[in-house]
Amino acid sequence: MTRPLGVILAGGQATRMGGGDKGLLPLGSGTLLSHVMDRFAPQVADVALNANGDAARFAHLNMPVLPDSIDGFAGPLAGVLAGLDWAAERGADTIATAAADTPFFPRDLVAHLVQKGAGMTHPLVLAATPHPKRGSARHPTFGLWPVALRDDLRGALAGGLRKVVFWSDQHGGREALFPQEAAFFNVNTPDDLIHAEAML
């Protein structure tokens, strides 16, 4: 299997951070988004950014910006669909996704997702970490997604589906378990940003 295309999901409204683009907030010597790109780009064949609004604010990144095709901030699945449509135009079979506000995710994320998807007709795998009560907790913005199911996803979104795990479970999605829960720490609030600086 060739390496998936990569899509960084940044289509949310960042309400707990006061709005705007969380990914452009400063972290260390760069931004949240630059840390995500540094980890993600080596793992995938090419990278695009899922974001809504004026794409010009990301022009300095020199990467495709993919807006949601579903109106009304329909959540991460809308970003996944935008990525799948982009990948279809490129002739790719799969995309991997990462969140723009999660700067410490594993450097072997994509390899592990691909490994867990081996043998699936339509590889659909979500990252997960151990959970004391449920066994595992899935991280639905980190996954491997098949281009072949993009029209099914489009129909599900049009029908009102928003929960990633519901759609994944409908298609026999698997989990790729990562031992480090802190690797998926995401920045939602100003306090989280301070914590991320300490984690650096």
* Domain annotation for the chain: domains and CATH numbers: 5-199 (3.90.550.10)
| Cα angle: 161, vertex 98, 177; to 5 degrees | 85
**pLDDT for the residue 14:** 53
Closest CA to 138 of 107, 178, 106: 178
**pLDDT for the residue 174:** 98
Closest CA to 64 of 80, 79, 50, 76: 50
* Residue pLDDT tens, the chain, 200 long: 689 999 999 976 554 455 568 888 999 999 999 999 999 999 999 999 999 989 999 999 999 999 998 887 788 999 999 999 999 999 999 999 999 999 999 999 999 999 999 999 999 999 999 988 888 999 999 999 999 999 999 999 999 998 999 999 999 999 999 998 889 999 999 999 999 999 98
Total residues belonging to the chain: 200
**pLDDT for the residue 102:** 96
Q: What is the pTM of this model?
A: 0.94
**Cβ neighbours of 160 (radius 10 Å):** 7
Give the pair of three-digit tokens for residue 46.
Answer: 């090419």
Give dist(CA 125, CA 138) in Å, integer: 10
Does residue 193 contact residue 25 with C-beta atoms inside 8 Å?
yes
**pLDDT for the residue 136:** 92
In 30-177, DSSP assigns E strands to: 30-31, 47-50, 65-66, 94-99, 125-131, 135-146, 174-177
Work out whether strand 26-27 and strand 135-146 pair parallel, antiparallel, or are unpaired.
unpaired
